[in-house]
Chains A and B, each alone.
Chain A
């Protein structure tokens, strides 16, 4: 996994741009796709853009994954204001850190399924803490059980998606000129 320290290459910059755009579009799309069902706790989302972060983390490493997260926070700040940015940041950074840790150390024990679930739970936990700080009320923690249940569900969804996609992506990389991973990241496997 160790490699020489080098500035971001043009190719990497382009990939991060595409992946970042994908993350933003997905996080917008899921607000459209998921209607306000009475059963769901309000404010919950599928966390589809987490797929992109996990994919980035797995293919390119920790720092690019944090770039994507930072981009999402910035996007939330511009489009939805300070409160949304803080919520996005608290959840996103915690989830990304957990993901980095699991993908680095736990590849034998966990598949993307487990990583996805843990990320979703951490994401919601971060947001809940942020919400508690913003309102100054610990009564919000009562809401945590609904968020936990929902996170297990959405995390399974995104995780299983990656379980299916990642091996195929890595295979495609070997025989396609449109591969999104280069030889450098292939060494990291």
Chain B
């Protein structure tokens, strides 16, 4: 064990990373292939149940909801977590949701906000979104 100390990258590594990168690229490109027209609907999901469905395009101004310590704001163009009482505040850092499929989550408080295109299933994603 003298020369050539550093272990070389092997064939399996390259194949594995290439396959994973391809999967990744496919996941990123997939939503762009089928563009949904129409407005956005936001769903507020608490403890796995759809608490409220808000048709964003029908809003005039901002609408605020407070559940489980999370304050969620819906506006005509986007939805976001305004504040939360959880220690990490990751849901707030996820920022504004603007496109169908965008989702922000507060794990400790079990609150999910997700955007869907108008006319899609509104059952909380239990069946249709399994296709993801």
Contacts and interface: CB of A to CB of B under 8 A. Distances in A.
A4 interface: no
Nearest to B47: A136
Given A121-B20, A167-B5, A168-B5, A135 B129 contact: no
B97 to A, nearest CB: 11
Contacts of A152: 17, 20-21, 24
B35 interface: no
Interface string B46-87: 011100000000000000000000000000000000000001
B130 to A, nearest CB: 6
Contact of A113 (B9, B28, B90, B103): B9
B110 A135 contact: yes
B125 interface: yes
Residue of A108, A136, A144 contacting most chain B CB atoms (<10 Å):
A136
A83 B108 contact: yes
A112 B90 CA distance: 32
A138 B27 contact: no
Interface string A165-184: 01110110010000000000
The range of chain A's interface size is 35 or more
Contact of B20 (A111, A131, A142, A148): A148
A142 B90 contact: no
A114 B17 contact: yes
Contacts, number: 125
Interface string A154-170: 00100100111011101
A131 B25 CA distance: 23
A148 B114 contact: no
B5 A42 contact: no
Nearest to A38: B95
A43 B90 contact: yes
A134 B110 CA distance: 7
Contact of A117 (B16, B124, B130): B16
Contacts of A142: 101-103, 114, 129, 132
A156 B17 CA distance: 9
Interface in B96-116: 101-103, 105, 107-108, 110-112, 114
11 contacts: A108-B10, A109-B11, A114-B10, A137-B124, A138-B126, A139-B125, A140-B112, A144-B132, A152-B21, A167-B6, A171-B1
Given A80-B87, A114-B16, A148-B27, 16 more contacts: A36-B93, A111-B10, A114-B13, A117-B17, A131-B105, A135-B107, A135-B111, A135-B112, A138-B129, A145-B24, A149-B24, A152-B24, A159-B13, A162-B7, A167-B6, A171-B1
